[in-house]
Amino acid sequence: MQPISRRQALLLGGMGVAATAAGGAGLIWTLTSPSGPVTGANLVQPEENRSVDGQLQVRLEAAPGRILLGDRQAMAMGYNGSIPGPTLRIRPGDVLKIKLVNKLARPTNLHVHGLHVSPEGNGDNIFISVEPGGTFDYEYKLPADHPPGVYWYHPHHHGMVADQIFAGLFGGIIVEDPEPIETSAERVLVVSDTTLDGLGNILAVPALERMMGREGQLILVNGQSNPQFPARPGERERWRIINACVARYLRLRLDGQQLQLLGMDSGRYAKPETVDDLLLTPGNRADLLVTTATGDSTLRAFYQDRGSMPRMMGPGFGARSAAGQPDGTPLATLRVSGEPVASQTSVPDYQGLGDLRTSAVTAHRSIVLSAGMGMGGGAGMMRFTINGREFIKGRTDTTVAAGSVEEWTLTNTSPMDHPFHLHVWPMQIIEGDDQGKASAVWQDVVNVPANGRVKVRVAFNDFRGRSVYHCHILDHEDLGMMGVIEVR
């Protein structure tokens, strides 16, 4: 990342007068003549930091600067000068220590998305505010039985989350398997989107687009446009895919290759499941095995209808994804050639997180996600609420007894889908869209369809403290669709 002047840093950190709500986009900055995104460059993996002797200690500096995005110089934000930030690889039982350094001109903080760790003190405490020029030392102790899988980290300072992520602040976390899975290669694929103007500045987002949930014009994998990578026939690769988009749903396909899904979020399946495609809502992750066959195959993201607010937005608003790429948006290209390799050993069975369907339920709760016109939304503005209330930091909305198992009915009364995320404690999907699940399915982001409902159960084990639940269309979270939970 190239250094920038103090004036440029102030512009980017404040993200421009025209985008004061964001803290993430909309500055004025002059670059040399822009060029369009170039496809086909070799895939670059993020820098990795691995734990040693039960501990990983890292420094993450959130700072503005010139960063290469899709083969263009962009004025963006990154951790340690890159988008995405470094991948953190840890094991169950480890201690993860992160020194967060804020070189932005606005406050920030850090959320370790999906990790089952304490929300108190200097743990996964999203109520902390790290001011410009400040630092904060986070420390997370993973339980010895923490599930392996794909996780990620990103800012969670209320009101600025969507724009700081849209500007490039995110990175992956891998919790390693207790019993290794034999693969020929392992790849971390962080999918993000953003929008740049002709000078490489991240554009400010209009109010109407925030209400719908922004979708950037530039879709990237590890900060690259449609990178390529090689393999030989018969190899088994492991792809760790993270949807780090603010609001974009990713319906992924990789035609011509054999796909086996190990699990979603922290929910590893007992055995891999063969899939043709998979849907990742914002915040979801997939742990995927790809057994390669000769030929070129492109990982594509197809349009997913997540609803709209047609009476407010006007005809056609939000339909740009459907019209733009009927054959899907190319994300990355796998090129398979050469001599076949010998088949690899079978994947070990995994015990999983258990099944709460036979557990005694101590409480039933109704969580209602709503979006619509109403008092407090301002002229022409919508309100985004949970159980009729917008987020207030100091108010506790839900109090839960530690060690209990609760069943929550998540109801969406709006004509837009809302991906529901609960911090710290994973959710088992009991009933989705009126159809029961055949096996235990665990996720920490659960899509609640427009005018639909989902039932989940949660075991509030191991930790006490205050945390949050919210819509993971991050514009909706910033606009108030978040509640506070306290386990005590």
Do the domain assignments include residue 86? Answer: yes
Residues of the domain holding 328? 186-336
pLDDT recorded at residue 351:
85
pLDDT recorded at residue 437:
57
Per-residue pLDDT of the chain (488 residues; tens, 9 = 90+): 544 444 344 434 444 323 333 333 333 233 333 344 445 799 999 999 999 999 999 999 999 999 999 989 999 999 999 999 999 999 999 999 999 999 999 999 999 999 999 999 999 999 999 999 999 999 999 999 999 999 999 999 999 999 999 999 999 999 999 889 999 999 999 999 999 999 999 999 999 999 999 999 999 999 999 999 999 999 999 999 999 999 999 999 999 999 999 999 989 998 999 999 999 999 999 999 999 999 999 999 999 999 987 644 544 444 444 445 678 999 999 999 999 999 888 999 898 889 999 999 999 999 999 998 765 544 457 899 999 999 999 999 999 999 999 999 999 999 999 999 999 999 999 987 545 556 789 999 999 999 999 999 999 999 999 999 999 999 999 999 999 999 99
Give the closest residue to 114 by CA, choosing from 253, 272, 263. Answer: 263
Residues 175 and 43 placed together within one structural domain of the fold: yes
Residues 392 and 321 placed together within one structural domain of the fold: no
pLDDT recorded at residue 168:
98
pLDDT recorded at residue 39:
57
pLDDT recorded at residue 380:
54
Phi and psi dihedrals of 161, rounded to 5?
A: -60, -55
Residues 312 and 439 placed together within one structural domain of the fold: no
Residues 225 and 197 placed together within one structural domain of the fold: yes
Residue 303 neighbours by CB distance under 10 Å: 17
Residues 212 and 196 placed together within one structural domain of the fold: yes
Residues 397 and 414 placed together within one structural domain of the fold: yes
Residues 71 and 173 placed together within one structural domain of the fold: yes
Residues 131 and 260 placed together within one structural domain of the fold: no
Last residue of a domain, one of 130, 152, 179: 179
The answer to whether 238 and 342 have CB atoms below 8 angstroms apart is: no
Report the domain count for the chain: 3
Last residue of a domain, one of 155, 179, 203: 179
List Cα–Cα distances, 310 to 234, 246, 315, in angstroms. Answer: 48, 21, 6
CATH number at residue 54: 2.60.40.420
What would the pLDDT profile of 240-270 be if each residue is shown by its tens digit? Answer: 999 999 999 999 999 999 999 999 998 999 8
Residues 331 and 373 placed together within one structural domain of the fold: no
Residues 175 and 206 placed together within one structural domain of the fold: no
List Cα–Cα distances, 472 to 171, 248, 280, 403, in angstroms. Answer: 16, 10, 12, 26
Quote the pTM value.
Answer: 0.91
Tokens of 163: 């724009």
Do the domain assignments include residue 268? Answer: yes
